Structure 1
Amino acid sequence: MPRDELNFLEFLQSFRRGELLREADERMSEVLAAIQDTGNSGEITVKLPFKVNKAGQIECVPQITAKKPRREMGTGVYFLNDEAQLTRRDPNQQDWLDDMEARRDRAAE
């Protein structure tokens, strides 16, 4: 005689004809791909909230969330010029290209 009770694994497998497992599998694939791409950590959360409805039945609307790691933007290095504007060139350092051009001009004379 078949039994009607579901254990945890049977519940996960049978929920909406496997929809819960398919959804979790998709989220896991996305997180793992992002981990491979970024080298950072991620996570998947499966929540199974159970509640009793007015008819005395147990209802469950699962929630699957994925936290995919993001690639960090990195650091940009800038300087402030005398007008308080950003620049990539250090205003306190002489430009060696200008110095080389001046030497060429002197050598050509």
Structure 2
Amino acid sequence: MLDTHTRVPVAEYDACPVTGIVRRMGERWTLLVLSLLARRAYRFNELHRAIEGISQRMLTRTLRTLEADGLVERTVFPTVPPSVEYRLSPRGAALMDSLTPLIDWAVTNSGR
């Protein structure tokens, strides 16, 4: 525990893995996309239709970021035209297992 006179260097704060995941979860569409993918796999257009107000560009950007973070897996099927499916990776599923108590707490305490 930090005493009241200890300063946290900015570089240390920015390098902290907790800071990174909290920032990622704080992005507008991240939790919603992860929550949907926690239920089942989605094709891109199906996921786009499931999220009111998100543009195709923003959904693409969010999915690419989550894929780069190792939280989402993208599978391309060799159809004409190609179809793409997104699902949580094992790492993403483990994250959602950890977030579920926080989500439950937020829902339970939302009236305060």
Query: Is this a same-fold pair by TM over 0.5?
Result: no
TM-score of Structure 1 vs Structure 2, range by shorter chain: under 0.3
Task: State which structure, 1 or 2, has the greater radius of gyration over its C-alpha atoms.
Answer: 1
Q: RCO higher in 1 or 2 (8 Å CA, sep ≥ 6)? A: 2
Which has the larger share of strand? 1
Normalising by structure 2, report the TM-score.
Answer: 0.22
